[in-house]
Amino acid sequence: MSGGISPLSLAGNVAEHWRTWRGRFENYLIASEFLKEDKSVQCAQLLHYMGEDGFKIYSTFKLETDDRNKLKPLMQKFQEHFEGKENTNYERYKLFSTKQGEAQSTEQFITDLQKQAAKCKLDTLQDSLVVTMIACGIKNNNVRERLLQEDNLPLDKAIELCRIIETSKVRSEVMSGVTNGATLQNEEVLSVYKALFSS
């Protein structure tokens, strides 16, 4: 669909697809300036871009007549349909149980924490709790120690600190490898010289 967004995918992890699609749609409303239009026009845009399957789901909703032309209650209905009723305690449990996976990058781990925290209704505590959960769940002990040394570290600074420490570790390992390689080459050169002069 030229100038708009693709329909919502109802295959696979529908709840995750819905969260991503909703964010894209809300961004589209701002970019296209449809937020300035009448509420009924905004609702029509929502139903149009959701696609045929989304419209079929909409037809099953029981909405007050006035709510059918209001974007917020309509979005809430789709939210409940795709994700079920909110269970804040469960979402917080998932956040506080999150650990970095063996094959998971630090960037992806932090992104997953932020996405999960957004579901937890933490208000002003959200960023500081994400920093706490980075320290609790990250695999790199050096990063954990540094984060625990800092008090009231803003989330953006904590993320930057993770990047710096992990980048420094990688560079150190590369330099160590180069040094070891150079030492090996020097030893090989010396053995050649010894062989030449002893013959």
Which CATH architecture is the domain 88-194 placed in?
A: Orthogonal Bundle (1.10)
Residue-level pLDDT at 92: 93
How far, in Å, CA of 15 to CA of 165, rounded? 35
Band of residue 32 on the pLDDT scale cut at 50, 70, 90: confident
What value does the mean pLDDT of the chain take?
A: 84
Q: Residue range 89-115: average pLDDT? A: 93
Please list, in sequence order, all residues whose beta carbon lies within 8 angstroms of the beta carbon of residue 142, skipping any fewer than 6 positions away. 165, 169
Compute φ and ψ for 122, nearest 5 degrees: -95, -10
Q: Residue range 104-123: average pLDDT? A: 92
Domain limits, the chain: 14-83, 88-194
Query: pLDDT tens, 120-148?
Result: 889 999 999 999 999 999 999 989 999 99
Band of residue 180 on the pLDDT scale cut at 50, 70, 90: low
How far, in Å, CA of 190 to CA of 186, rounded? 6
Band of residue 60 on the pLDDT scale cut at 50, 70, 90: very high
Residue-level pLDDT at 179: 52
Whether the CB-CB separation of 113 and 98 falls below 8 Å is answered with: yes
At 123, the amino acid letter reads D
DSSP, res 168: H
Helix, strand, coil share of the chain (percent; to 5) = 75, 0, 25
